[in-house]
Structure 1
Amino acid sequence: MKTEILFHTVEYWYEMHPNMELPESEEEYIKYMINQGYREGELNYYDSENEKTYYGWWKINHE
């Protein structure tokens, strides 16, 4: 999936949940990481309603 964050096109995906929308907390995390100079990284989201943790990855798309 793709989203725009800080004027960058960011691709992201979650293992075991490929169509999951990016939670607001994860968007804030990606903003922080981009501001720190990172261009990709791991996602780790805990859904308290379902008591599940979703792992994924994000990266800036340079195309």
Structure 2
Amino acid sequence: MAASSTDAAEMARRTRFGRLPERIRLEDTIEERPAIAPDPARDAYNEDEWLVRTCL
């Protein structure tokens, strides 16, 4: 009786883990997004802001 329960457990394990998952293509793992145009106001240099941030 112990052999049949062991066989059933082995069969269930092989059914679940008996083969590797399907291979995922490299193209499916890469996400592409369009680049946004640079915002000139975002990168504008402001002397007063720099002075306040570093000296105060």
Superposition TM-score, scaled by structure 1 size: 0.24
Structure with the largest fraction of helix: 2
Superposition TM-score, scaled by structure 2 size: 0.27
Larger Rg: 2
